[in-house]
Structure 1
Amino acid sequence: MEIKVQFPSDGNTLVGTLFRPDGAVGRLPTVVAAGGWCYTKEIVLPHIARIVNEQGVQFLGFDYAGFGESSGDRRQHLDPWSQISDYKNALTYAESRDDADPDQLGVFGISYSGGHALILAATDPRVKSAVSVVPVVDGYNNMRRVHGETRFRDFENAILADRRERAKTGGGGNRIEFATQTPNEVLSVWPFARVNEVFTQLKLTEAPLHEHWSTLESAELLLDYSVFPFLGRILDKKVLMIVAEADNITAWDLEIEAFNKISSPFKRLEILPSVSHMSLYSEKTDTNIAAKHTRDWYATSFKK
C-alpha cells in the first residue's frame, strides 16, 4: 500500500510516499529514506521499499526541499546539512504517526545519502538501524579521483568563479550539469557518460520530475563533505554498508575505509561482486540484491 504524505521541514513542505505492507495492522518499524545527487523519491527507493515491506517494515521515501514535489525556493540546490535536517524532520514526522513504532526507526541512504545515513546514525539517537549503500564518504577525494588532476583544477576554478559572482551580485549563482555524454568537453559534477545515460532513462520511465543539473554551489559544498569525523560516534547503532565491487564512481576502497572506522560492533559489510554504482539503478537484478540485503538487515536489527 502506497500513501502520499506531507510534513514540515525547516519552513518547507516535504512530500513523500509511505510504503506500508499490505494487510499490516498496528505500529510497525519505520525507515525513512531519500536519494543521492539530484534524485527524486521515485528513483530506486520504491524498488527497495517493496522488498523491505516483505519483512513487516514500512518505508518512507521523500523528496528533499527544492527537489521533486517538495517545496523550496532554491531548486536543485544540494546542501548536505539541510538534507540531513530534512531526514531528521522525516524521523520526527514518522514517530508522530500512529502506524509507526517510535522506538524502531531506521534510515536508508544510497550514494550521497548513503553518507547522510552514516551521519544520522552518529547524530540522531532515534536511529536504531541504518543502511548505507555505495555511499559518498569523502567529497574532496572523491571529486579529485573522478575528475583527474587536470579537470579537477577546472572544477575548482569554476566553483571559485561562481563564489565570486554570488558575492558580487547577491544572486543564487550558476548551475552545473549532473553528468553529460561528453565529460571531457562539458564540465559536470559526476563526469561519467553512463551516469547521464541512466538518469536520462530514469526520467523517461520512472522519475519525470528529475532534473539533471544542480547549483554550482552544491559542488562546493560537496568538496567540504566528509563522514569520517562522525564514524567514531557510532557506538551502539546497527549499521549495514553495501558496496559494489565495480564501483568507480564513489570508490569502494574509500567506503571500506569508512566502514572500518565505525566504532559500533553491530555492523556488517556486504560487497556485491560484479556490480557497479550505476547497475544498481539500471539493472533491477542488482537493485534487488541490495534490496534483499537491506530487507534482511532490518528484519534482524529491529526488535521483535
Structure 2
Amino acid sequence: MTEESATYDRGDVEFDAEGATLRGWLYRPKPGGSTAPVVVMAHGYNCLKEFYLDKYAAAVASAGYAVVAYDHRNFGDSDGEPRQELDPWVQVRDYRHAITFAQTLDGVDPGRVGVWGSSYAGGHVIVVGAIDRRVGCVVSQVPTISGWESTLRRIPPQALAGQRRAFDADRLERYRGGPPKMVPMVADPAAGGAASHASPDAWEFFTGRMSPPEDQWRFRRWRNEITLRSLELFSEYEPGSFIERVAPTPLLMLVGDSDTVTPTDLALGAYNRAGEPKRLDLFPGGHFAAYTDQLDRAARAAVDWFSQHLRPRAQDDGRGGPMITTRTT
C-alpha cells in the first residue's frame, strides 16, 4: 500500500524481530535531501494499526519526521504465533527491534529517535524510554501503568481464585500440546458475559460504533478474542515501576480525565513520580476519546513535544542544536 500527500510519502514496510516478520507503514517526509528524526509507533491491547494509528503517524510525518508504524507480533499483518496473544515483554523487545530497523533507513538520523505508544503500548514506551538510551523522546498516551492494579479493578475479588485456576489449567493444556484457550476481548453490555475489557466504551470502540461510517473499514479485520494467557501476562506487567528511570529523556503523558480502562489516577500517580523534563496533557474524556473526539488535540500535543526535543534539522536555530520553545495550556 502506498500513499502520497503534500508533506510525506507512505509505503508498506517489514522488518525482522527475532525471526518474526513485523509489518506496517513507513512515512517519509517531503522534501527529502536531509536526514530526518524518526518516530517508532505501535498501538494498544488487541488493536490493529488501522485503528487510527495512521492519523497519528501522518500528523508526525507532516511535521518533518520519518515514522515507522507497525502491527504487534501475533496481530494484523505481522507474523507470530499464537495468534491473538499479547505478551508485553515480547512487545517491548519488538519496539527495540523496530528502533534498530528505523536507524538503518536511508534519510533517517539514527541519533534522533522518538517513541510513541498508546494504551498497552503507552506502558511499553515508558519501559523502552527507561531502558534504551537510543530513545531521545517519549510520548505515552493513555498508558497502562499497573497490570495488577487494573486487574483488581476489572475482576471481582471473589472471581480471582477462579481466574487463577483457569490460568493454571490453560498452562497444563498447552504443555500437553493443546491449543491456547481463547476469551472474548469485549462483550455487549446489554447481553452481559465475561470479557477482557467488559466496559461499555470498550464495546462501542472495538466494534466500530464510536466511529463514523467512513471509518468502518478500520474494524473489519479485528477479531473479538485474545488468548487467556494474555490476561495472565497483563496482570504481571508493571510498566509504571520504570517511570522514575525515564529521565533525563523527555516524557509527555497524554491522559483522559475519566479513563477507566487505564485508570486516570494510576497515570497521574506515575506522572508525579517521573523526573524532568516532562509534560502532562490531561484531556476531557475516557480512554477511547484519544482515538475519537480528542485525537486532533492529542496528535498536536505529540507533534509539539517531538518538535521541542527532536526538531528536524530544517528547524534548527543555527547553533547546532534544537531551538526549544515553550507552550502554555
What TM-score range do you get, normalising by the shorter chain?
over 0.9
What is the match of residue 218 of structure 1? 230
Structure having greater relative contact order (Cα 8 Å, sep ≥ 6): 1
What is the match of residue 278 of structure 1? 288
Matched, 1:123 2:131: yes
Relative to the length of structure 1, the TM-score reads 0.92
What is the match of residue 249 of structure 2? 237
Q: Could you say if the C-alpha distance between residues 186 and 153 of structure 1 is closer, same or farther in structure 2, counting changes exceeding 3 Å? A: farther
Matched, 1:227 2:227: no
Following superposition, the deviation at residue 192 of structure 1 comes to 1.4
Counterpart Cα distance in 2 of 1:99 and 1:42: 25
Counterpart Cα distance in 2 of 1:20 and 1:292: 19
What is the match of residue 4 of structure 2? none
Following superposition, the deviation at residue 153 of structure 1 comes to 4.8
Counterpart Cα distance in 1 of 2:160 and 2:288: 22
> What does residue range 60-209 of structure 1 map to in structure 2 within 5 Å?
60-167=68-175, 169-182=176-189, 185-201=192-208, 204-209=216-221
Kindly name which structure, 1 or 2, has the bigger radius of gyration based on alpha carbons: 2
1:253 to 265, 268, 272: 265
1:45 to 47, 53, 56: 53
RMSD of equivalent CA atoms: 1.9
Contact 1:54–1:295 (CA under 8 A) maintained in structure 2: no
Relative to the length of structure 2, the TM-score reads 0.85
> What does residue range 21-60 of structure 1 map to in structure 2 within 5 Å?
21-60=29-68
Counterpart Cα distance in 1 of 2:32 and 2:17: 28
Matched, 1:268 2:279: yes
- Of residues 196-205 and 252-261 in structure 1, the stretch that sits farther from structure 2 once superposed is 196-205
What is the match of residue 10 of structure 1? 18
Q: SS state of the match for residue 206, structure 1?
A: helix
Counterpart Cα distance in 1 of 2:198 and 2:191: 8
Q: Which blocks of at least 5 consecutive residues in structure 1 are unaligned? A: none
Contact 1:147–1:191 (CA under 8 A) maintained in structure 2: no
Following superposition, the deviation at residue 206 of structure 1 comes to 1.4
Contact 2:143–2:262 (CA under 8 A) maintained in structure 1: yes
Counterpart Cα distance in 2 of 1:295 and 1:235: 20
1:210-266: per-residue Cα shift (whole Å, max 9, x none)? 22211110110000000133223223101100100121111011011111222x311
1:16-36: per-residue Cα shift (whole Å, max 9, x none)? 101223434321111101111
1:14-58: per-residue Cα shift (whole Å, max 9, x none)? 111012234343211111011111111111211111222232122
Q: SS state of the match for residue 278, structure 1?
A: helix
Percent of pairs with identical residues: 32
Following superposition, the deviation at residue 195 of structure 1 comes to 1.1
Following superposition, the deviation at residue 189 of structure 1 comes to 1.0
Following superposition, the deviation at residue 159 of structure 1 comes to 2.6
